[in-house]
Structure formats: structure tokens, C-alpha cells
Amino acid sequence: MTNPILRGCLFIGSAAALLLWTASSSFALEVNKPVPTERREAMSLADAVLKALQNNLDIHIGRQTKESRLADIIIEQAKFDPTVSLNGQYNRQVAPLNRPILGFTGSNLQDITKFDQNTSGVTADITQNLPTGGNYDINYSPQRSYVSGTNTFLFNPAWTGGLALTVTQPLLKNFGTALNQTFISIAQNNATVEGHVFLDRVLTVIATVEQTFWEMVFANENLKVAQAALKAAEELLASNRAKAKAGVMSIVDVLQAEAAVASRVEQILVAEKSIRDQEDQLRRLLNPAEEELRQDLRLIPTDPPTTSLEAISLQEAIDIAMERRPEILQAGKNVETSELNTKFAKNQILPTLSFQGTMGLSGLGADYGDATRRNFGGDFYNYGAGLVFSYPLGNRSAYSTFNKRQLEARNAQASLQSVRQQVIVGVREAVRRVHTDFKRIETTRSARIMAEKQLQAEQERLKVGLSTTRFVLDFQRDLATAQGNELRAVLDYNKSLSNLARNKATTLERYSLRLE
């Protein structure tokens, strides 16, 4: 006679088995449900990098900023461009005379006399700042004048011509070509710095694309591991059900296998979500159009991860980074700029002492040709020269600016030293990470091989009744974990190689790219 308690346990166990079988079946149906047609696109790492460089918004912003810095150079150079001005005038004046005018009235005035005069002239002027700090002004101003009425002028109308040259040259403050090109040099340094910033942004974008691409590869391979684990659990479940039906295995083993199947299905769902997440992250870096981003696109990575050890010399890696890292180059240019500012500020402490010289030619004639000939004949001329000195008492503004520039120069030097130290530490850490991750590949591969052997041995023991379903499931789980660990080590090694190239600033060479 069967024990009622035993019958109750069997009933509960059967019900639980039915419920778990139903749940696992529903999971399987959910996973195996036909997926709507999706657009798939095979993508290599090089393709992803090129698309990111072409379309990435950060790259676009950096490119525009760099062009604006190049415009600053032209703005500073344009300060030495000559300026041409042309001015034409006509004036007529009818004025009452209160005293005689030689050549127009007699010696005495008997009544109010009108003085009717009209003049017309053109003034052409050229000015330019010189790189030495001085400037010049060339002025040419021919003029025609006519006085109506009886007169005894030599020429009426009369043409006059005037040519004048004025030169001013500082001798202390603001003297020298190098000094007066300070702001051109600073603008050039700023453009170079922006170029380094742009390169740094490019390297960062490429490194981010590489890291995301390898994470997408890991997600895809990890799904295969989860699918293999599910297949193994399903095979064990089918075997256990057959044995339970034949009466050689308890229902508990079936329940354990069904629970394992349900757990493996969950892992597949999580792995599939991870793939879609990484695909979206990579697509975001490629900056597609909004309509394209709305579409359901599956990216299929085509590049296999690298598993071979690359020869790496720590000192050579550090030397390369010191020569090429944009942060160091940028800090070096900042030091140059601070030195230029300091030299300029030191010069501004000096008093102002300027030489001023002027010379001119003039002419008079009955017509323009006659006046021009006399103007350039050299018969009528003037010249002069002098010095102008000025100095603000105390000159506190100039001294304060000079002290400020000295502090900025010292800060720039300290920043350069700090950046160099950071680069050295970063390269050392990147090299260690490469070596560590490669060793992880070897150790995790050994662990995976041992897990395979242990699972195989335990499966053989189960066949002859020397093991249980629980032990086999544990070894299946251990094998899946070992496979995932090996996969993670391989992908981490590839990410470490990307990180090392980023730290050495050699990322572009990996794709045979060159910035224009």
C-alpha cells in the first residue's frame, strides 16, 4: 500500500514538473519565435572608424574650431596690410571782406567786397604699420582753386600739388620685428594647439569606436556561449525525461534540468539585449541621420579579435608617446606662447621714445600737368625730424602685467611637466594591461579546457549512474562561465591594444590614416 504522504509528494512534484515544463516551453517559444525581417549590415572595425571620422559631431566641431584659429592668424597678419584712402572735395566760399587781400583788392576798401573762391581737390593717402613697430603715411593732394573777379594772381585758376611722407619709428618700447610679430606667433601657436586638440579628439573618437566595437563582438560571442549552454541543458533535459519515463531516473532530476533550461533562456535574453545595446552605442558614434537611427539595423562585426602577443618595449612606447602625444605637444606650445607674452610684457615696461621724420614736395602751375611737373621737380620741398619721449610715472600697469605673465609662464612649465608625468604613468599602465590581459587569455583557456574535461567526465559518470543531474548542471555552468571568461580575456586584450595605441598616439597608423 502506497504511503499517502508519498503520494502527495509525487503529486506535488508532478504538478511542479508540469508547471516548469510549461514555463520552459513558453520561454522556448518566446526565444524561437520568428523575428521580423531586419536589415543587416556587415561592418569591419576599419569601416566603423572611417564612418565615425566622417560623420562624428565632435570631429565636425573640432574641424570648425581649427579653421577659426587659422582665421585668427590672418587677422593678426592683416594688421600690417597697407590702408589706402581716397577723398575728393569741392568747396565754394563767398565771404565779405573787411580788409584788403593782396592781389585781389586795392590798398583800401571803400565798401563791402565779396571774396568768391571755389576749390576742388583730391587726397590720396597710403598708411601702413611696419613689422619694426613703426608706420608711414604717404599723402598726395592736388588741388585747383579759382577766385572770381578782377585779381592780379599769378595763376587763376591755380593748381597746386602736395606730396608728403611721414615716418614714425619707436626706438625702445614696441621696437623690433620679433616683438611686433608676437601676436602673429601667438595666433600660429593657438592654431597649432587647436590642431593638437583636434588630433586628441580624433584619437579619442577612434579609441571609443574600437572599445565599443570589441564590446559588440563580445556580446555576439557571448550569445553563442549562452546558446551552447542552452543546447546542452536541453539535451540533458531530453535525456532525463526519457530516463524518467523509463523509470530509471527520478522526477527531481527532470525538475533540475528544466530549471537549468529556464535559467539558460534568461541568459540568452540578457545576451541579446546586450548585443542591441552595443549596436546602438556604435551607431550613435557613427552619427547617422535621425531617420536612419530610427530604423532597425543589425550590425554584424566581421573582424575577429587578435589573440597573438605583440612585441612591446616599455621604454620605446614611452619615447613614442613623448614625441607624439597631443597633450604634450599642446602643453609645449602653451609654454612657447607664455614666453612670447612674457617678452612682450617686459618690453612694455620701457619708456616710449620714437623718431618722427617728415618730408614733402610741392608745386604750383596753371594746369594740373604744369603743377605736377613742378611738384616732382624738387624745387619746392620741406623736411623735418624729431624725437618724442613719454613715460608714465610709476608704470604700475606694465609692471603688473609683466609679473602676471611671468607667473603664467611658470604655470605653463609646471603643466608641461605634469602632463609628461601623466603620459609616462599612463603608458606604463597600458603596457602592463596588455601583458596582463594576454596572460589572462592563456589562463582562462586552460581553465576552459579543464572545465570541458570535467564536464565530459561527469557526463560519463551520469551515464553509468555514478553522478547526478545536479553535478552535471554545475559542470555545464562552470564550462559556460569558463568560456565567457576566456572570451572576456580575449576581448579585453584587444581593448588593451587599442588603449596602448591611444596612449602612444599611434592609432592613426593602425588604419593608415593621416590628418591634413
- Residue-level length of the chain: 516
Residue 462 confidence (pLDDT) above 90: no
Provide the pLDDT for residue 414.
97
Q: Average the pLDDT over 192-203 and give the result.
A: 92
Peptide bond into 157 cis (omega under 30): yes
pLDDT at 20 over 90: no
- Using the predicted structure, report yes or no on whether residue 215 has a pLDDT greater than 90: yes
pLDDT in tens, 55-66: 877 788 888 888
- Neighbour count for residue 63 (Cβ, 10 Å): 12
> Residue 37: what pLDDT?
56
Cα–Cα distance, 54 to 323 (Å, whole number) = 27
pLDDT at 25 over 80: no
Q: How confident is the model at residue 16 (pLDDT cuts 50, 70, 90)?
A: very low
Whole-structure pTM value: 0.77
CB 257 within 8 A of CB 236: yes
In this structure, of 162-171, 292-301, 349-358, 473-482, the range with the lowest mean pLDDT score is 292-301
284-309 pLDDT, tens digit per residue, is 888 887 888 888 888 899 999 999 98
The position carrying cell 579585453 is 492
What is the SS3 string spanning 443-484?
HHHHHHHHHHHHHHHHHHHHHCCCCCHHHHHHHHHHHHHHHH
* Angle (nearest 5°) at CA 21 between 19 and 26: 95
pLDDT above 70 coverage of the chain, percent: 92
Residue 11 has pLDDT above 70, yes or no: no
Q: Name the pLDDT band for 109 (thresholds 50, 70, 90).
A: confident
Q: How confident is the model over 420-442, as pLDDT tens digits? A: 999 999 999 999 999 999 999 99
Contact (CB, 8 A) for 174 and 347: yes
Closest CA to 163 of 386, 376, 379: 376
Express each pLDDT in 29-65 by its tens digit.
344 444 445 788 899 999 999 998 888 777 888 888 8
Q: Of the given ranges (263-277, 292-306, 472-486), which has the lowest mean pLDDT?
A: 292-306
| Mean pLDDT confidence for 210-218 | 95
36 Ramachandran zone, left/alpha/beta (phi>0; psi -120 to 50): beta
Compare 206 and 23 and report the one with higher pLDDT. Answer: 206
pLDDT band at 130 (very low <50, low <70, confident <90, very high): very high
* Cell numbers that stand for 386 in this block: 624729431
Residue 382's pLDDT band, with cuts at 50, 70 and 90, is very high
Residues 331, 332, 338, 344: is their CA dihedral positive or negative?
negative
- How far, in Å, CA of 479 to CA of 482, rounded? 5
Residue 110, pLDDT > 80, answer no
Which range is most confident: 92-106, 251-265, 279-293, 417-431? 417-431
410 pLDDT higher than 90 = yes
CB atoms within 10 A of CB 78: 9
Kindly tell me the sign of the dihedral angle through the C-alpha atoms of 482, 488, 490, 493. negative
- Supply 152's cell numbers: 592780379
Arithmetic mean of pLDDT, 77-103: 89
The overall average pLDDT reported for the chain is 88
Supply the pLDDT for residue 28: 37
